[in-house]
């Protein structure tokens, strides 16, 4: 008699918790968001997060890079004796907002181009293809730098563009850079979907093309779009950090990229001032990637079942 | 496997395949799926067995369990599978590799996905020859050419150098058969080999399989949902339902004197050419049982027109018929029993009153 | 190249659909070659009739169905539905005509939008055409769902993947009936279903046809299934029409050699009927370069020089029984045609 069994299901499985990666991602992003929101709007709720500009004092003394990571300042202090941990939390706000803004812009424009070129094919597809291919051939870093600087110039020229603050500049720029990849993915998905029989069925029922796109295609594109949005968010946040590192970022409050930039000269003296913002960046991008993977897995399974 | 063991396999008098209480369950988020629940039968050398059932009956899982082609995670297996007297049910992948291809071969439903799209046909047929029989490339290709002729593919020289996408569905299935026959296996498992093919091509492929079987004295296990296919091409038939073997008999006997109401109902629900146009088909009401929580009694009871209380309460064991030791079935009130006739009479009375009303 | 002829088209009776010399060709990439999917076939369907269209893969039956629905505009020929020529219609008129001819597809699950609730899917056609008030639409959808055996409450909350294949096909059928069409074209509706579920769906189609006074075209490769549900069967091979006959007559006295081959190849669930010889060898040639003359001639046991050069036309060999063959199994030799070539 043979009897091969697999190990008993782990505790995690029995409690119906998701995978470790997803759990981590959710916990990390969740805590970060909560902390950053509270720090900015309800500071009283988070007394352990010092104010942005407050200096860390011990025994009445204020010293730059006074402390390493420890009880007084969890991530240590920075050049102006500010609390690195607090700065990291404050920095998260704009990083996340810019990342989300860029993703939304990129996704909306990209999805529009993708759906139209994937559904109509022919000339629409060719024109859109040329546009997106050209966009993708320009090195994204170069493009972002040029656009941000150009917007700076334009702002001085035209006062009506004054509302485009730095965060908006970054969102628009990064959004534009991400249009092409989003468009390609949505186009590929659209081309697959339009051959499915439920689209033919809708045509045979007399549905107009716009109705088919809106009611048949888009709901089925949303899973792929959401998955790609999460992974894209990770990339765009890293991109924002890169731009901030190069000095193109927001002036105040400092985002992680800028924090790394400021502290990098003193990396030997005070490694914590560089290391912790790097860690924050890494863990945040990782979380978005992990969540994106999990979404992809879930939607794939759904698609497979269908 | 050493050559002496192999020789032993080929000479032994034991039945080629002997299954005892084979069970395959899968752990899924929903619970334990009892895909195959205690199946036992034997198959002699050179005979063909048809395993018939609908989707969810467990027929494909059964053939894969015998072959050892199940996923390792989440699978719970028990029972004994003896191949020519040797226990193979508990062998790991590594040991099974010496059995696959040489002793047991399998062909699948969709030849497009079963063939490597990036390899030439010649290479794909030569592969088992080179691995198992240690042939060199020249000999292997020569054998491959002969195999293509055996499976009646015209212009074999040209075909050897082609890729799967250049062949039609029927031809690809022939190539699959050639690959399976390459090392001269003693058993071939064909899992719905003709379901995706046109009816004329299906007839050719089934005929080819029968010819190969006779020439090589090979056993064939033909898994299908099509009663027509098994009627013409198998010596014995095993009917599966809800993970259980519910009836087994020689083909002639099964069609002439079937015992299971399920077999009877299945046969009645197929449109036949001999029926007149617009014949009302006898439908089996309801749906197959849930394999996670199968019913306590007979698994077909919920859909059986002759079900009694005993059927719902107790699971019928596999019984051998009095007059034919090769015919076994699992039913409390089989076709032909007094209770069956009573139930039929009641049903037709009901039908008449409904129609009269 | 000429089509198979129109001798079998009926002049009396209430002809709902009349297709003449339908031509559908697909270009092969940029080679300039064409796939001759449908090469000049004609058929008609009387109101209340079920026409079965049968043939093996590559014969063009599915393409015919879609060309009739104008889901793919045919390259030639005429399709007259309810007295109106569909091929000449503009998009908006065609759209309107489509409400009266509906299609049921092969793959039950993929013909329903996976992201929408089933009840909404069935409601959709009414919303597109703005038929009736909201309550009217609701009542209609619910009654149709019940007719096909689906619980409306469950349909309102569930998506297609939560139903079985057979149930999805029934939902598809309900959706196709919601606009009260006169013609339903079924494209292999039961091929993807289990045997016992097939029977349920076939019976359902018969019942609905009777109840709603429908006319049906049933496209399938399984001749037994087609015979069960059709009044009349048309056999296609490589884009041409071989034989058109009442269902029972096709079985008892097939006239075309290909029909005989098909009938002999069908596995019969009766071991007493021995299969002595394989009915035919080889496979159909490519529709890109079809044989000249009768397209079946390379594989036909009775082919001669006339078959290799002259395309046979459909002619009557029995009551309502037409065959396109120079030397059919039933009825005499084809008379020598007066026309040359073309």
Give the CA distances from residue A203 to residues A196, A218, A255, B1, in Å, rounded to whole numbers and listed in that order: 11, 16, 50, 60
The DSSP secondary structure of B212-238, one letter per residue, reads: HHHHHT-EEEEEES-HHHHHHH-SEEE
- Percent of chain C at pLDDT > 90 equals 51
Could you tell me the two tokens for B223?
């898994």
Which residue in C56, C278, C281 is closest to B198 by CB distance?
C56
CA distance A16 to chain B (A): 9
Q: pTM for this structure?
A: 0.83
- Whether A6 shows a pLDDT value over 50: the answer reads no
Q: What is the average per-residue pLDDT within C7-23?
A: 87
Task: Give the dihedral of Cα atoms B193, B282, B265, C274; nearest 10 deg.
Answer: -50
pLDDT classification of C340: cutoffs 50, 70, 90? very low
Encode pLDDT of A30-78 as tens digits: 999 988 888 888 877 777 777 777 776 666 556 666 666 677 677 777 7
Cα(B333)–Cα(B316) distance, integer angstroms: 9
Residue B216, exposed/middle/buried by CB under 10 A (0-12, 13-18, 19+)? middle
User: A180-184, B16-20, B341-345: which has the minimum mean pLDDT?
Assistant: B341-345
Is residue C283 less than 8 Å (CB to CB) from chain B?
Answer: yes
Cα(B180)–Cα(B158) distance, integer angstroms: 20
Sign of the Cα pseudo-torsion (C254, C255, C261, C262, in order): negative
Report the pLDDT value the prediction gives residue B1, as an integer from 0 to 100.
Answer: 46
Report the pLDDT value the prediction gives residue A234, as an integer from 0 to 100.
Answer: 92
pLDDT classification of B255: cutoffs 50, 70, 90? very high
Could you tell me the two tokens for A285?
């991008």
CB of B47 closer than 8 Å to CB of B238: no
DSSP, collapsed to helix, strand or coil, labels residue A204 as helix
CB of C275 closer than 8 Å to CB of C216: no
Encode pLDDT of A140-154 as tens digits: 889 988 988 888 888
pLDDT classification of A269: cutoffs 50, 70, 90? confident
DSSP, collapsed to helix, strand or coil, labels residue C34 as strand
Could you tell me the two tokens for C304?
């001669």
- Whether B48 shows a pLDDT value over 90: the answer reads yes
- Whether A98 shows a pLDDT value over 70: the answer reads yes
Look at B73 and A6 and tell me if their CB atoms are within 8 Å. yes
In 3D space, the residue among A209, A270, A281, A286 whose CA is nearest the CA of residue A243 turns out to be A281
CB of C38 closer than 8 Å to CB of C67: yes
- Which residue would you say has higher pLDDT here, C336 or C40? C40
In 3D space, the residue among B18, B42, B50, B17 whose CA is nearest the CA of residue B237 turns out to be B50
Q: What is the average per-residue pLDDT within B36-50?
A: 91
In 3D space, the residue among C238, A185, A196, A298 whose CA is nearest the CA of residue B200 turns out to be C238
pLDDT classification of C330: cutoffs 50, 70, 90? confident
- Whether B7 shows a pLDDT value over 60: the answer reads no
DSSP annotation of A212: I
Encode pLDDT of B182-226 as tens digits: 888 989 999 998 888 888 888 899 999 999 999 989 999 999 988
Q: Tokens 């050069």 correspond to what residue?
A: C309
Report the pLDDT value the prediction gives residue A5, as an integer from 0 to 100.
Answer: 40
CA distance A5 to chain B (A): 5
Encode pLDDT of B50-99 as tens digits: 999 988 888 989 988 888 888 878 888 889 998 888 888 888 778 888 77
Cβ-based neighbour number of residue B146 at 10 Å = 12
Burial letters A115-125, b for 16+ CB under 10 A, else e: bbbbbeeeeeb
Burial letters C243-254, b for 16+ CB under 10 A, else e: bbbbbebbbebb
List of chain A residues whose C-beta atoms are within 8 Å of the C-beta of residue B95: none
- Whether B235 shows a pLDDT value over 90: the answer reads yes
Q: Are strands C15-27 and B328-329 parallel, antiparallel or unpaired?
A: unpaired
- Residue to substitute from B23, B38, B40, B77, interface A, most A β-carbons within 10 A: B77
> Mean pLDDT, chain A, as a whole number?
83
Give the CA distances from residue A226 to residues A144, A223, A296, B96, B104, in Å, rounded to whole numbers and listed in that order: 24, 5, 9, 43, 46
Residues 193-212 of A with CB under 8 A from C: 196-198, 200-208, 211
Is residue C88 less than 8 Å (CB to CB) from chain B?
Answer: no
Is residue C194 less than 8 Å (CB to CB) from chain B?
Answer: yes
Is residue C238 less than 8 Å (CB to CB) from chain A?
Answer: no
Report the pLDDT value the prediction gives residue B274, as an integer from 0 to 100.
Answer: 84
User: Across-strand partners of C25?
Assistant: C36
Length of chain C: 342
CB of B216 closer than 8 Å to CB of B295: no
User: A39-43, B170-174, B324-328, C125-129: which has the minimum mean pLDDT?
Assistant: A39-43
Strand runs labelled E in chain A: 2-4
Could you tell me the two tokens for C150?
């689906």
Instruction: Give φ, ψ of C17 to 5 degrees.
Output: -135, 135
- Residue to substitute from C106, C199, C202, interface B, most B β-carbons within 10 A: C199
Encode pLDDT of C160-192 as tens digits: 988 988 899 999 999 999 999 999 999 999 988
- Whether A237 shows a pLDDT value over 80: the answer reads yes
- Whether A306 shows a pLDDT value over 70: the answer reads no
Residue of C nearest to B288 (CA): C196
- Whether A1 shows a pLDDT value over 50: the answer reads no
- Whether A9 shows a pLDDT value over 70: the answer reads no
Residues 194-223 of A with CB under 8 A from B: none
CB of C22 closer than 8 Å to CB of C44: no
Is residue A9 less than 8 Å (CB to CB) from chain B?
Answer: yes
- Residue to substitute from C196, C206, C242, interface B, most B β-carbons within 10 A: C196
Q: What is the average per-residue pLDDT within A216-241?
A: 90
Report the pLDDT value the prediction gives residue B355, as an integer from 0 to 100.
Answer: 62
List of chain C residues whose C-beta atoms are within 8 Å of the C-beta of residue A216: 113
Report the pLDDT value the prediction gives residue A13, as an integer from 0 to 100.
Answer: 55
List of chain B residues whose C-beta atoms are within 8 Å of the C-beta of residue A6: 27, 72-76
Q: Tokens 């992948």 correspond to what residue?
A: B93
Is residue C162 less than 8 Å (CB to CB) from chain A?
Answer: no
- Whether C135 shows a pLDDT value over 60: the answer reads yes
In 3D space, the residue among B170, B168, B187, B196 whose CA is nearest the CA of residue B86 turns out to be B187
Residue B40, exposed/middle/buried by CB under 10 A (0-12, 13-18, 19+)? middle
Which residue in C110, C116, C129 is closest to A196 by CB distance?
C110
Report the pLDDT value the prediction gives residue C1, as an integer from 0 to 100.
Answer: 33
In 3D space, the residue among C191, C183, C237, C186 whose CA is nearest the CA of residue C212 turns out to be C183
Q: What is the average per-residue pLDDT within C203-213?
A: 93
In 3D space, the residue among A294, A241, A222 whose CA is nearest the CA of residue A25 turns out to be A294
Length of chain B: 357
Angle at A207 between CA A202 and CA A211, to 5 degrees: 100
Could you tell me the two tokens for A286?
């990782």
Length of chain A: 306
* Chain centroid, CA B77 distance in Å: 19
Is residue C102 less than 8 Å (CB to CB) from chain A?
Answer: yes
* Chain centroid, CA B290 distance in Å: 21
Give the CA distances from residue B353 to residues B99, B280, B346, B348, in Å, rounded to whole numbers and listed in that order: 61, 19, 11, 9
Could you tell me the two tokens for B111?
């030849």
Cα(B184)–Cα(B179) distance, integer angstroms: 10
């Amino acid at each position: 008699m043979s009897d091969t069994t697999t190990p008993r299901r782990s505790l995690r499985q029995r409690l119906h918790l998701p995978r470790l990666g997803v759990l981590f991602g959710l916990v990390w992003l969740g805590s970060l968001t909560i902390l950053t929101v509270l720090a900015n709007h309800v500071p009283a709720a988070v007394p352990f997060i010092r104010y942005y500009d407050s200096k860390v004092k011990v025994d009445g003394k204020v010293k730059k890079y006074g402390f390493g990571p420890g009880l007084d300042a969890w991530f240590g202090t920075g050049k102006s004796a500010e609390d690195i941990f607090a700065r990291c939390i404050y920095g998260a706000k704009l990083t996340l907002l810019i990342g989300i803004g860029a993703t939304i812009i990129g996704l909306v424009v990209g999805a529009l181009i993708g759906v139209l070129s994937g559904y109509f094919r022919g000339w629409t597809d060719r024109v859109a293809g040329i546009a997106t291919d050209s966009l993708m051939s320009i090195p994204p870093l170069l493009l972002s730098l040029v656009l941000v600087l150009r917007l700076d110039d334009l702002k001085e020229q035209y006062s009506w563009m004054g509302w485009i603050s730095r965060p908006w500049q970054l969102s628009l720029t990064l959004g534009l850079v991400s249009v092409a990849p989003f468009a390609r993915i949505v186009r590929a998905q659209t081309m697959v979907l339009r051959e499915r029989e439920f689209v033919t069925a809708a045509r045979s029922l007399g549905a107009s093309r716009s109705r088919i796109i809106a009611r048949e295609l888009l709901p089925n594109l949303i899973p792929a779009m959401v998955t790609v949005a999460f992974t894209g968010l990770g990339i765009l946040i890293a991109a924002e950090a890169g731009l901030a590192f190069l000095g193109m970022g927001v002036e105040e409050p400092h985002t992680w990229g800028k924090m790394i930039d400021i502290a990098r000269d003193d990396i030997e003296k005070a490694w914590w001032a560089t290391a912790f913002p790097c860690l924050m960046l890494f863990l945040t991008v990782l979380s978005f990637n992990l969540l994106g993977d999990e979404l992809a897995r879930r939607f794939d399974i759904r698609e497979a079942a269908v | 496997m050493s050559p002496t063991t192999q020789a032993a396999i080929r000479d032994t008098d034991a039945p080629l395949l002997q299954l005892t209480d084979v069970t395959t369950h899968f752990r899924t988020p929903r619970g334990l799926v009892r895909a195959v629940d205690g199946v036992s039968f034997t198959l002699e050398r050179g005979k063909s067995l048809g395993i018939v059932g609908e989707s969810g009956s467990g027929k494909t899982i059964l053939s894969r369990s015998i072959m050892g082609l199940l996923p390792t995670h989440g699978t719970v297996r028990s029972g004994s599978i003896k191949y020519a007297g040797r226990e193979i049910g508990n062998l790991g992948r590594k040991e099974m590799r010496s059995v696959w291809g040489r002793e047991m071969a399998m062909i699948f439903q969709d030849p497009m996905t079963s063939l490597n799209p990036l390899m030439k046909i010649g290479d794909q047929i030569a592969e088992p020859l080179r691995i198992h029989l240690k042939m060199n490339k020249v000999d292997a290709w020569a054998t491959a050419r002969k195999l293509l002729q055996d499976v009646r593919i015209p212009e074999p020289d040209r075909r050897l150098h082609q890729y799967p996408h250049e062949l039609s569905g029927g031809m690809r299935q022939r190539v699959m058969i050639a690959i399976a026959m390459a090392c001269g296996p003693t058993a071939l498992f064909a899992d719905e080999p003709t379901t995706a093919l046109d009816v004329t091509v299906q007839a050719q492929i089934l005929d080819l399989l029968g010819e190969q079987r006779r020439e090589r004295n090979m056993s064939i296990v033909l898994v299908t949902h099509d009663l027509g296919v098994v009627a013409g091409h198998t010596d014995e038939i095993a009917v599966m339902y809800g993970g259980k073997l519910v009836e087994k008999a020689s083909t002639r006997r099964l069609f002439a004197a079937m015992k299971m109401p399920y077999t009877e109902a299945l046969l009645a629900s197929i449109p036949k050419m001999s029926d007149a146009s617009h014949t009302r088909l006898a439908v089996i009401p309801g749906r197959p049982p849930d394999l996670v929580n199968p019913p306590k009694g007979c698994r077909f009871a919920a859909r059986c027109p002759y079900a009694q209380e005993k059927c719902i309460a107790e699971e019928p064991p596999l019984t051998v018929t009095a007059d034919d030791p090769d015919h076994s079935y699992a039913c409390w009130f089989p076709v032909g029993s007094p209770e069956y006739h009573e139930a039929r009479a009641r049903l037709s009375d009901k039908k008449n009153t409904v129609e009269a009303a | 190249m000429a089509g198979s002829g129109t001798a079998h088209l009926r002049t009396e009776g209430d002809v709902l659909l009349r297709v003449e010399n339908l031509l559908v060709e697909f270009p092969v990439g940029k080679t300039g070659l064409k796939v001759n999917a449908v090469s000049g076939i004609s058929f008609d369907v009387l109101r209340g009739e079920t026409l079965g269209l049968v043939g093996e893969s590559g014969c063009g039956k599915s393409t015919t169905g879609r060309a009739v629905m104008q889901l793919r505009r045919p390259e030639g020929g005429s399709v007259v539905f309810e007295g109106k020529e569909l091929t000449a219609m503009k998009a908006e008129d065609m759209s309107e005509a489509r409400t009266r001819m509906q299609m049921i597809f092969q793959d039950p699950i993929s013909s329903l939008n996976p992201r929408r609730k089933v009840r909404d899917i069935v409601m959709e056609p009414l919303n597109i055409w703005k038929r009736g008030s909201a309550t009217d639409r609701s009542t209609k959808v619910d009654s149709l769902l019940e007719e096909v055996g689906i619980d409306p409450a469950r349909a309102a909350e569930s998506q297609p993947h939560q139903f079985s294949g057979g149930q999805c096909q029934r939902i598809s059928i309900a959706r196709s009936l919601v606009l009260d069409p006169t013609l339903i074209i079924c494209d292999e509706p039961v091929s993807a279903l289990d045997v016992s579920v097939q029977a349920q769906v076939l019976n359902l189609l018969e019942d609905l046809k009777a109840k709603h006074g429908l006319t049906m075209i049933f496209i399938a490769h399984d001749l037994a299934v087609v015979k069960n549900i059709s009044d009349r069967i048309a056999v296609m091979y490589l884009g041409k029409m071989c034989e058109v006959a009442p269902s029972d007559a096709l079985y008892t006295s097939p006239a075309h050699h290909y029909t005989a081959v098909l009938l002999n190849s069908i596995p019969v669930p009766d071991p007493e009927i021995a299969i002595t010889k394989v009915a035919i060898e080889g496979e159909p040639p490519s529709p890109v370069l079809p044989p000249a003359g009768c397209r079946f001639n390379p594989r036909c046991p009775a082919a001669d020089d006339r078959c290799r050069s002259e395309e046979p036309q459909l002619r009557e060999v029995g009551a309502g029984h037409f065959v396109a063959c120079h030397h059919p199994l039933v009825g005499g030799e084809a008379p020598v045609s007066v026309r040359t070539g073309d």
